[in-house]
Chain A
Amino acid sequence: MTGDLESRLRAAVRAEAATADGATSMADEDASLGAIRSRVRTVRRRRRAMALAAATVAVVLAVGALPRLGGDRADVNVVGGPADREMTTTPDDSTPGTTPSTTGADAPSATGEDTGTTTSPPPDPDIIGDGFQPLWPFATRAAATTWQEAYDTGGQQPWHLDAEQTALSFTTGFLGFTEIDQITSSDIGPDEAEVGVGYTNPDGGMSTAALIHLMRYGTGDDAPWEVVGTHDTDLLLETPDYGTTARSPMTVAGYITGVDESLRVQVRQSSSAESLGESCCLPAGGTEAPWETTVEFSGASDPAITVIASTGGHVQEVERFAITGLRS
């Protein structure tokens, strides 16, 4: 009887596997290879940008250290940089939060004004790892540390320790893409995570709208997760380069694979509920077809800002999106 069970199991799994052949085509296979190449290119491009940013920081550090070696720097007034920004919202001490707010709950003040000049930019304390931008929910390392200390003592807002919850809250809350409310994949390491967010199709299947890239902001197992970007596939946001300084008006460009797409570009920061600028609705479509638009924005005060490109309109308003992080 066992032998019969084994032979029937063998036949069943092979027949089940064969159903995939009936549902996929060579076009699907070619599209898969193209998507793989696109994703690899995007990640490599981002890694190069990270390396460049890290090298720049190293040079700035070295240059900044020279006057110190010479002695007095009393005439240098360095204010208004990321390290000087103060938080206006702290983790809720009275009610441990289980869900995040739509803006970065721990975002810095928008009122931090520059009152002096600098001779050289200070090393950026807010950068994560080799140059990743803190996009959401924490605008600064100080804010993340403040939450971490509050969590250690009172357990406030534990969702910061959940990469999936952070990714989903970023999408439905901060970005306002309320229809993208499903986790479609999850790859969570000790310090870095990739979480797929998407939606349920009318036929019941799930589609991934974006792969959110998160990193731990700080040290230790209780360091909170921070959104630092997306790993893009068939909607690529390549210009401006990740980690560069944002200037308005800004040219935003990339590539898209799809049909009858309508691209919307927003500029946001974690401390603001409203977008800082927006451009809509750019028609696009094709296979890795280039797209380009210009967006004007104002009011950037966080150290990092997020540029979001989204498209949809076939099944729901937003079906895919990609983000990049810039310095303000």
Chain B
Amino acid sequence: MTGIPVGRRVGRVEAPTDDLALLHRENYRSLVRLATVVLGDLGLAEHVVQDAFVRLQLRWSRLRDLDNPPAYLRTAVLNGARSQLRRQKVRDRFAGRRTVDRPVTTPEAAAVDHDDQDRMIRALRRLSARQREALTLRYYLDLPEVEIAATMGVSPGSVKTHLHRGLANLATMLGEDGPPSQPGDHQTGEDDR
């Protein structure tokens, strides 16, 4: 039903009673994780995901024929996150600190050095919104470029550009070698939001 990783289901015994509950159960946590990566703020991430579900439900009658509601939700979450990031105060807050405490060791966390991870995440959040979204969809959700393009509402060619520039900018910020340069690389501002 979805290309999005399904969240942990701990202690859940009752079955979903309707379409919304089913969709929510299968996608809520993964969408919160996605929004958390993009926003760096769990509270805002939950708010954005909730908004996406409300909009989906309100438009449900017109979306019955949608073959991929999770894709709609994913796009809605990214749009909502982008809207949040436009708020200067939010951007200022999340640029400087982490609001989600890292839990005790997870398999993912154990696989990477925490300092390196923090530097990587901080650098990721200094990228433009489009570069950050493209990299998140590619390296968190492992989406192919065509799906990233559909989610972001851009062409596959633009996705390639965002991915390439995003990696190059990450490498620069981390003081490492990145992919071969292309014209227009190292743009980290609002240029392509």
Residues of chain A having any CB pair with chain B under 8 Å: 1-2, 5-6, 8-24, 26, 28-29, 32-33, 35-37, 39-40, 43-44, 182-187, 196, 204-208
Residues of B131-183 at the interface with A, using a CB-CB cut-off of 8 Å, are 135-136, 139-140, 167, 170-171, 174, 176-179
Which residues 71-108 in B have Cβ within 8 Å of A in the complex? Answer: 80, 83-84, 86-87, 89-90, 93, 97, 99-104, 106, 108
Give the residue among A8, A20, A39, A208 with the most B Cβ atoms within 10 A: A20
Alpha-carbon gap, A327 to B128, bound state (A): 47
Chain A binding surface SS class = helix
Q: A13-B140, A36-B50 are in contact. List 14 more A-B contacts (CB 8 A).
A: A5-B174, A8-B116, A13-B121, A13-B124, A16-B100, A18-B108, A26-B10, A36-B20, A39-B54, A183-B89, A185-B84, A186-B87, A187-B80, A205-B41
**Candidate in A13, A29, A40 with the most chain B CB atoms within 10 angstroms:** A13
Which of chain B's residues have a CB closer than 8 A to the CB of A39?
Answer: 50, 54
Contact between chains at A22 and B103 (CB < 8 Å):
yes
Hey, which chain A residues are within 8 Å of B41, CB to CB?
Answer: 205
A2 shortest CB reach to chain B, Å: 5
In the complex, the answer to whether A12 meets B89 with C-beta atoms within 8 Å is: no
User: Number of B residues contacting the other chain (C-beta, 8 Å)?
Assistant: 68
Give per-residue flags for B15-55: 1 if the beta carbon is below 8 A from chain A beta carbons, else 0: 00000110011001100111011000111111111110110
Contact A9 B83 (CB under 8 A): no
Question: B1 at interface (Cβ–Cβ under 8 A)?
Answer: no
Say whether B66 faces chain A, with CB atoms less than 8 Å apart.
no
Q: How far is the CB of B102 from chain A (nearest CB, A)?
A: 5
* Count of A-B contacts judged by CB separation below 8 Å: 167
Question: B residues within 8 A CB of A26?
Answer: 10-12
Given known pairs A9-B124, A13-B140, A33-B21, the reply for A21 and B8 (CB within 8 Å) is yes
Contacts of B7 on A, CB cut-off 8 Å?
Answer: 21
For A10, what are the chain B residues with a Cβ–Cβ distance below 8 Å?
139-140
The DSSP consensus for interface residues of chain B is helix
Q: Which listed residue (B20, B24, B33) contacts A17, Cβ 8 A?
A: B33
Residues of B within 8 A of A36 (CB): 20, 24, 50, 53-54, 57
**B44 and A206 contact, CB distance less than 8 A:** yes
In the complex the two chains form, is A15's CB within 8 Å of B111's CB? yes
Residues of A within 8 A of B116 (CB): 8, 12
Q: B63: CB under 8 A from chain A?
A: no
Residues of chain A lying within 8 A (CB to CB) of residue B178: 1-2, 5
The 7 A-B pairs at the shortest CB distance, nearest first, are namely A22-B103, A17-B33, A12-B120, A11-B112, A20-B36, A15-B108, A15-B109
Q: What is the CA–CA distance of A32 and B35 in the complex, to the nearest angstrom?
A: 15
A24-B171 in contact (CB<8A): no
A11 vs chain B, min Cβ distance (A)? 4
Q: Please name 11 pairs of A and B residues whose Cβ atoms are closer than 8 Å in the assembled complex, sorted by A.
A: A2-B178, A5-B167, A12-B112, A14-B140, A18-B109, A19-B103, A22-B103, A29-B29, A33-B28, A36-B53, A206-B43
Contacting residues, chain A, for B103 (C-beta < 8 A): 18-19, 21-23
CB atoms of B102 and A19 under 8 A apart = yes
Interface residues, chain B, with chain A CB atoms under 8 Å away: 7-8, 10-12, 20-21, 24-25, 28-29, 32-34, 36-37, 41-51, 53-54, 57-58, 80, 83-84, 86-87, 89-90, 93, 97, 99-104, 106, 108-109, 111-112, 116-117, 120-121, 124, 135-136, 139-140, 167, 170-171, 174, 176-179
Least Cβ distance of A233 to chain B in Å? 8
Chain B residues whose CB sits within 8 angstroms of the CB of A5 once the complex forms: 167, 170-171, 174, 176, 178
In the assembled complex, the CB of A45 is this many whole angstroms from the nearest CB of chain B, namely: 12
What residues of chain B lie closer than 8 Å to A40, measured between beta carbons?
54, 57-58
Partner of A8, one of B45, B47, B120: B120
- Give CA–CA (A262, B29) in the complex, Å: 32
Are B177 and A1 touching (Cβ within 8 A)? Answer: yes
Bound form: Cα–Cα A184–B100 in Å:
18
| Cβ B50 vs Cβ A35 within 8 A | yes
Q: Which residues of B lie under 8 Å from residue A37 when comparing CB positions?
A: 20
Least Cβ–Cβ distance between B85 and chain A, in angstroms: 11
State the CA gap A31–B52 with chains docked (Å): 15
- Give Cα A37 to B17, complex, Å: 13
Which listed residue, A2, A16, A20, A35, touches B32 by the CB 8 Å rule? A20
